[in-house]
Amino acid sequence: MTRKILAAANWKMNGSRTANRAWTDSFVPRSAELACNILVCAPSVYLSDLDRAFEGTKVMLGAQDVNEHANGAYTGETAAAMLKDVGCEWVIIGHSERRTLYGDSNERVAAKCRAAHEQGLRVVLCVGETLQEREAGTTIDVVTEQLQAALNAIGPQALAAGALAYEPVWAIGTGKTATPAQAQEVHAALRDAVRAVDPESADALRILYGGSVKPANAAELFAMPDIDGALVGGAALKAEDFYSICASAQV
């Protein structure tokens, strides 16, 4: 099955109204020429601005996290319905920075996936091992357990309506990229884990690689059979670099 490449930008806690306008002015007018699907995940405060900037274009909008509750006394948090309300179609859940810095356990990630799914948001579920876990030979066990928690919560079809992102923690923001072969091995194992539950969803599911993706390495990653796109941090802050990464996708 051919899966269309999805190039997703994760701006993290970066940007300003001025910088975002410069980015969209550079990227959006040329986005129609790109063959892949495109997603930009931005800080919550800028989502409304970006919804306007992306209106009528092929660029999709996403948030970087969501609270697991529908509404209520959760100071500082953002509900899934609010993200929908300001134009988001997607949300990243379980990013390693959320897992390590803000205590997002597999259980909390699962609850967030459920909350997002109930509001019709498409989830980019992030999984990935630390360097210690890789060196201990437990990579596949760790990522499969992370996947399973979310899979139990929302099921394979909802997962396939979104995307899975394999992001080795040791490769995020470090300049160290997993080799295409290393990434392919984990992507194939993740797809097999979904196939065990629902073969059709496994074939449809896009599995993105994340971890120091840049214009120079995107094409070789996209060439692997189970790598269906990228989740891009640092390089996505420059419109030109993100454009080059998107342009590396042939399908």
Q: Please name every residue paired with 91 in a beta bridge, in sequence order, or none if there are none.
A: 63, 123
10 binds ligand PEP (CB under 6 A): yes
Nearer to ligand PEP, 100 or 250 (CB): 100
Q: State in angstroms the smallest separation of the CB of 1 from ligand PEP.
A: 25
Q: Pattern 210-229, binding to ligand PEP, x per CB under 6 A?
A: xxxx----------------
Contact between 167 and 127 (Cβ < 8 Å): yes
Count of residues engaged in binding ligand PEP, rule: CB under 6 A: 13
What residues from 146 to 205 belong to the interface with ligand PEP (CB under 6 A)? 167, 172-173
Nearer to ligand PEP, 202 or 230 (CB): 230
Q: Which helix (H) or strand (E) holds 164?
A: strand 163-166
Please indicate whether residue 167 is annotated as part of the active site: yes
Tokens 């941090």, residue?
Answer: 233
Among candidate residues 97, 129, 167, 187, the one labeled active-site is 167
DSSP letter assigned to residue 138: -
The single residue among 234, 241, 243, 245 that binds ligand PEP, judged by CB under 6 A, is: 234
In angstroms, the CA 148 to CA 156 distance is 10
Please indicate whether residue 187 is annotated as part of the active site: no
Q: Nearest-CB residue to ligand PEP?
A: 233
The encoded tokens of residue 47 equal 């989502």
Q: State in angstroms the smallest separation of the CB of 71 from ligand PEP.
A: 28
Q: Pattern 123-142, binding to ligand PEP, x per CB under 6 A?
A: --------------------
Terminal-to-terminal C-alpha distance of the chain? 12
Tokens 């357990």, residue?
Answer: 145
- Outline where the chain has alpha helix (H): 17-27, 47-54, 80-85, 96-101, 106-118, 131-135, 139-161, 180-195, 199-204, 215-222, 239-247
Active centre residues (catalytic):
95, 167
Binding residues for ligand PEP (CB under 6 A): 10, 167, 172-173, 210-213, 231-235
